[in-house]
Amino acid sequence: MGMTGATKLGSIVDLAEAATAIELITAAEGLEYRKPLAPGRGVQSAYEIVRARVSRLEADRSMSADIESIVEAIRQG
């Protein structure tokens, strides 16, 4: 039972990281439309981290590489 739980936990963590990455990318896109309003310091810091890895979405494209890039940033802290 313990090994099954550990394996399931690994899957849950992977999915949580991917969902968080998608939310961060979506939030960064949303901030683009709020300009010239400025976010707070913490949100601005997160925005800069996301934008250092993922460019603004200006045309339809696959987001899988972008999501994986942010997942890596999450894993690195």
pLDDT of residue 35: 86
pLDDT tens for 28-64 read: 999 999 989 999 999 999 999 999 999 999 999 999 9
Give the start-to-end residue ranges of the domains of the chain. Answer: 16-76
pLDDT of residue 31: 95
* Percent residues over pLDDT 70 in the chain: 99
Q: Encoding tokens for residue 9?
A: 């936990």
Q: What is the mean pLDDT of the segment spanning 15-19?
A: 97
> Could you tell me if 20 and 69 are in contact, meaning their C-beta atoms sit under 8 angstroms apart?
no
For residue 6, the model assigns a pLDDT of: 86
32: tokens are: 């683009």
User: Alpha helices, DSSP H only, in 33-53?
Assistant: 41-53
Dihedral over alpha carbons 24, 32, 63, 47 (to 10 degrees): -40
Question: Is pLDDT at 1 greater than 70 in this prediction?
Answer: no
